[in-house]
Amino acid sequence: MGRQVQISILQEDVEGLLAQIKRQHRVVVVKRDDFESAVVEPLDSLPANTSETLILWNQELLPQLQRKHISKETGGDYYRVAESAEPVLEFTGSFLGEWRGRASLTQGRIYGIFDNKSQEFLRWYEQIVRYIRKAFVRNPASLSGYVGPAAYDWFLRGGLLLPTFLPPETDEWRQFFANEDLIRARLKGASDTEKNFSSPN
């Protein structure tokens, strides 16, 4: 059984989230896929503005990790971390791009498969989700998931929160983002009012 939490995050949010995760456990980030090697090496730095799927590897739960060879009939063999078999979590960041000329941010996620895995692995995932629910904002658009603090400020300044993909330019999606603009205006108005009341005379 798989479980996920969807997140809209800018680089500042990614760094803060990973710092929190690493404070709790001995965790490194690695690439899920590699075209050349089964050997897993921790990343020194995270790729900026990419939706590439990475792996959160808790070395307290799994001392050794190696990619499995994937053979394709059409060629192009590669190596992949077997998250269905190992107690690791997928981490996919958000992609910052444009939709109809406006800055937009796709959803990423943290995802795990928990069938035949330890309770310690499930508790680790739930610990991460509890932190996200506490430190992030519930997605204000008509989407599930949570928005990091930096991404939420960016949203209030006019950025569009997208689903996990770049939507087509249809009437339905134009209406969706028109509704998102109304939500933003209401939230920004409430935020400005709160600042005015809290400011000293």
Q: Which amino acid is it at 13?
A: D
- Give burial (CB, 10 Å; 0-12/13-18/19+) of 13: buried
The model's pLDDT over 27-51, given as tens digits with 9 standing for 90+, comes to 999 999 999 999 999 998 877 777 7
The radius of gyration computed from the CA coordinates of the chain, to the nearest angstrom, equals 19
Question: What's the N-to-C CA distance of the chain in angstroms?
Answer: 56
Sorted by where each begins, the domain ranges of the chain are 2-156
The pTM (predicted TM-score) of the whole model is 0.89
Residue pointed to by tokens 């971390």: 81
Q: How far is CA 86 from the centre of its chain?
A: 20
Write out pLDDT tens, residues 1-31.
799 999 999 999 999 999 999 999 999 999 9
pLDDT digits (tens, 9 = 90+) for 68-127: 999 887 777 899 999 999 999 999 999 999 999 999 999 999 999 999 999 999 999 999
Q: Which residue has the tokens 């998931």?
A: 145
Single out the residue of 66, 3, 76, 70 nearest to residue 31, CA to CA.
66
CA-CA distance, 141 to 184, in Å (whole number)? Answer: 8
